[in-house]
Amino acid sequence: MSTKMKMIFMAIMAFLLMASPLTAAGTPVTGGVLKIAIDSDPPTLDIHSTRATLAVFVGGNMYEGLYAFTTKGEIKPMLASDMPLVSNDKLTYTIPLRQDITFHNGKSMTSADVAASLNRWGKIASYGKQLFAHIDSVTAKDEHTVVIQLKEKWGTLMSSLAMLLGGPVIYPQEICAKYPAKPSSEYIGTGPYMFEEWRPNDHITLKRFEGYSPLDTESNGYTGRKTAYLDKLVFYGISEEPVRVNGVEGGEYDFADFVPSDEYDRLKDVKKIKTYISPPRAWFVFVLNTKFGPTKNKKIRQAMLATMDVKGTMAAGYGDQIFWRVDPSLALKEQVWHSTAGEAAYNQNNIEKAKALLKEAGYKGEKIVWMSGPLEYNLCVAAKANMVKAGLNIDLQSMEWATLLSRRKNPELWSAFSSGFTAKADPSLTTAMNLKYGAGWDHPEAKALFKSFCNESDFKTRHEILSKFQELVYSEVPYIKVGDYKNLRISNHRVQGFANDLYLYFFNVWKEK
């Protein structure tokens, strides 16, 4: 290379260096708007009133509870200043509150707000109602201390206080008084972002809350330091998958969730796009009716379980194996609660055994009405093939969610329906242990195990109880676990600091200039 050419080359390089962004990757930048495409609008932003995950995707940036979970499921204080002081009889929990907390409306948080929020949650939230059956009272002891008085020992109290999905987030007392039973339409919390606008059927905008007091501990899941680097978060509810993908590829949105997994091979090679495979967040299940119709017969339910080829079903229904896994546990492998109890009955793919069980059951080809929503339909088709081979008369009916939710209220109309159970930090909070779900599961042993699991506070004993419960699920078959599944998420390459966690949240996220 001639000297002249070298000079030109160096000049070009110098220019390029000067023109490149001054911020190195990894150094947070404040400012900017993050446009996030999620698969639908949340039904409400009142977390007490819904168990819909979408409400947490948005609300998790705005609301906080007394405690929160780390990514591994440990419980840490959030609005509480410390872990509770527990009386010797384990019936009284005294919770000290942080004194530096301001609500988005500028008011300081006191124990009156906390007591009002917990009491409202106990009245209207489904988890709240379950927990408050064991709570005597929640009272404000002084301005910054709350006391929870239990009727009996209840091991899941702390997990319940720490959960966010349908959990006891703290609102100002006035909001609780104004909306005692109906979902609130005023969204005031204590989180790093605050509500700005909800344009129905278009977008929800949150803006940075300047009065936020972050904790001085390391950020981990919903616990620790939360920083609102972005000026605004804008959530777009877009049900069409291609629109979410095209939107990020075209630069209209910065982030998209629930991207079809079959797009992964293409998108991972697109330069401007980052792909994220979420941790397993839920598992598919086929819920069976233990009260009415052919599936009331345990042998028939066991026959359905025996036909299950989980690998084939998941591959047919959910695509590439990097997005799912075969696992018998009612808790995820990543959780301390994981158990292999009863695994011999999982993933049997044994048609002959199923035929024998049907014979024992005296099955005469009665129709098994199986309802499926759109997401699980392919799974059901794959699973049905083996069931039909065993001689089961399956009437698989595909319907939109609203219809399925409505029809499943009447257990005489169906024998099975497909669903997904989301993972929770404490198994007692999962639908897998909810004995009232679907047609309900009236089994004395299941009831007793659930009660002792909730009463117990020693981890080892609780784990043993959970394993027994899992074994019972595999022998009684109130539902059939299929496989754990993950999501594909994508973002613009400028998005930094995103914690690819179970739920979406955008504090500590920034956008490079």
Partner 1 sequence: MLGFLVKRFFSMALVLLVVSVTIFIVMHLLPGDPAAIMLGPEATNEDVAALKAEMGLDKPVLIQFTEWTGRIIQGDLGKSIFFQNRPVPDVIADHLEATVLLTLLSLGMATLVGITTGVLAASAHESLFDRSFMFFTSMAVAVPNFWLGLMLVLGFAIMVPILPAAGYSPLSDGFWSCLSYLVLPSITLAAGAVALIARMTRACMLDVLQNEYIRTAKAKGVRQSLVIFKHALRNAIIPVVTVIGMSFANLMGGAVVTESIFNIPGVGRLLIKSVFTRDYPVIEGVVLYIAIAWTLINLLVDIIYTIIDPRLEY
Of 374, 367, 346, give the one whose Cα is nearest residue 475.
346
Q: Does 182 bind partner 1 (CB under 8 A)?
A: yes
Q: Taking the complex as a whole, how short is the minimal distance between the CB of residue 78 and partner 1, in angstroms? A: 23
| DSSP strands (E only) in 389-509 | 393-398, 416-422, 479-485, 488-492, 495-496
Q: Does 51 bind partner 1 (CB under 8 A)?
A: yes
Q: Does 431 bind partner 1 (CB under 8 A)?
A: yes
Residues in 188-227 that interact with partner 1 by CB under 8 A: 198-202
Q: Does 496 bind partner 1 (CB under 8 A)?
A: no
CA distances from 308 to 338, 363, 385, 388 (A): 21, 18, 10, 11
Whichever of 5 and 181 has its CB closer to partner 1, that residue is 181
Which DSSP string corresponds to 34-98?
A: EEEEESS--S-S-GGG---HHHHHHHTTT---SEEE-TTS-EEESSBSSPPEE-TTS-EEEEEB-
The span of 18-26, 239-247, 343-351, 384-392 binding partner 1 (CB under 8 A) equals: 239-247
Q: Taking the complex as a whole, how short is the minimal distance between the CB of residue 392 and partner 1, in angstroms? A: 25
Q: Does 412 bind partner 1 (CB under 8 A)?
A: no
Question: How many Cα atoms are found within 13 Å in the side-chain-facing hemisphere of 126?
Answer: 12
CA distances from 465 to 131, 279, 434, 435 (A): 19, 26, 15, 15
Q: Taking the complex as a whole, how short is the minimal distance between the CB of residue 500 and partner 1, in angstroms? A: 23
Whichever of 245 and 368 has its CB closer to partner 1, that residue is 245
The residue within the footprint of partner 1, chosen from 99, 185, 217, 321 (CB under 8 A), is 185
The span of 108-116, 208-216, 248-256, 361-369 binding partner 1 (CB under 8 A) equals: 248-256
SS3 31: coil
**Residue entry with tokens 């720490």:** 162
Q: Taking the complex as a whole, how short is the minimal distance between the CB of residue 295 and partner 1, in angstroms? A: 18
CA distances from 374 to 313, 370, 378, 400 (A): 15, 13, 8, 6
Whichever of 166 and 189 has its CB closer to partner 1, that residue is 166
Between CA 303 and CA 357 the distance in angstroms is 6
Q: Taking the complex as a whole, how short is the minimal distance between the CB of residue 49 and partner 1, in angstroms? A: 7
Do the beta carbons of residue 505 and residue 38 sit within 8 Å? Answer: no
Number of residues written out for the chain: 513
Whichever of 287 and 499 has its CB closer to partner 1, that residue is 287
Site map (CB under 8 A) of partner 1, residues 74-113, x = contact: ----------------------------------------
Between CA 38 and CA 47 the distance in angstroms is 17
Of 138, 35, 144, 147, give the one whose Cα is nearest residue 85.
147
**Residue entry with tokens 């909730």:** 454
Q: Does 249 bind partner 1 (CB under 8 A)?
A: yes
Q: How many residues bind partner 1 (CB under 8 A)?
A: 52
Residues in 302-331 that interact with partner 1 by CB under 8 A: none
Q: Does 70 bind partner 1 (CB under 8 A)?
A: no
The span of 12-20, 52-60, 150-158, 468-476 binding partner 1 (CB under 8 A) equals: 52-60
Q: Does 291 bind partner 1 (CB under 8 A)?
A: no
The residue within the footprint of partner 1, chosen from 210, 216, 218, 400 (CB under 8 A), is 400
The residue within the footprint of partner 1, chosen from 145, 173, 295, 419 (CB under 8 A), is 419
**What are the residues facing 369 on neighbouring strands?**
395
Do the beta carbons of residue 191 and residue 508 sit within 8 Å? Answer: no
Q: Taking the complex as a whole, how short is the minimal distance between the CB of residue 223 and partner 1, in angstroms? A: 24
Handedness of CA 384, 475, 368, 420 (dihedral sign): negative
Residues in 114-143 that interact with partner 1 by CB under 8 A: 124, 126, 129
CA distances from 333 to 73, 282, 310, 336, 458 (A): 12, 11, 17, 8, 20
- Measured from the Cβ of residue 408, the count of other Cβ atoms closer than 10 Å reads 18
SS3 496: strand
DSSP class of 440: -
Q: Does 289 bind partner 1 (CB under 8 A)?
A: no
Q: Does 239 bind partner 1 (CB under 8 A)?
A: yes
Question: Going by DSSP bridges, is the β-strand pair 33-38/232-237 parallel, antiparallel, or unpaired?
Answer: parallel
Q: Taking the complex as a whole, how short is the minimal distance between the CB of residue 99 and partner 1, in angstroms? A: 33
| Tokens at 420, concatenated | 């997904």
Q: Does 484 bind partner 1 (CB under 8 A)?
A: no
Q: Taking the complex as a whole, how short is the minimal distance between the CB of residue 61 and partner 1, in angstroms? A: 18
The residue within the footprint of partner 1, chosen from 238, 259, 331, 382 (CB under 8 A), is 238
Site map (CB under 8 A) of partner 1, residues 6-45, x = contact: -----------------------------------x-xx-
The residue within the footprint of partner 1, chosen from 83, 90, 174, 183 (CB under 8 A), is 183
The residue within the footprint of partner 1, chosen from 152, 240, 320, 366 (CB under 8 A), is 240
What is the Cα 489 distance to its own chain's centre?
15
Q: Does 458 bind partner 1 (CB under 8 A)?
A: no
Which residues here bind partner 1, judged by CB under 8 A? 41, 43-44, 49-53, 55, 124, 126, 129, 166, 181-183, 185, 198-202, 236, 238-240, 242-243, 246-247, 249-253, 373, 400-403, 405-407, 409, 419-422, 431, 434, 436-437
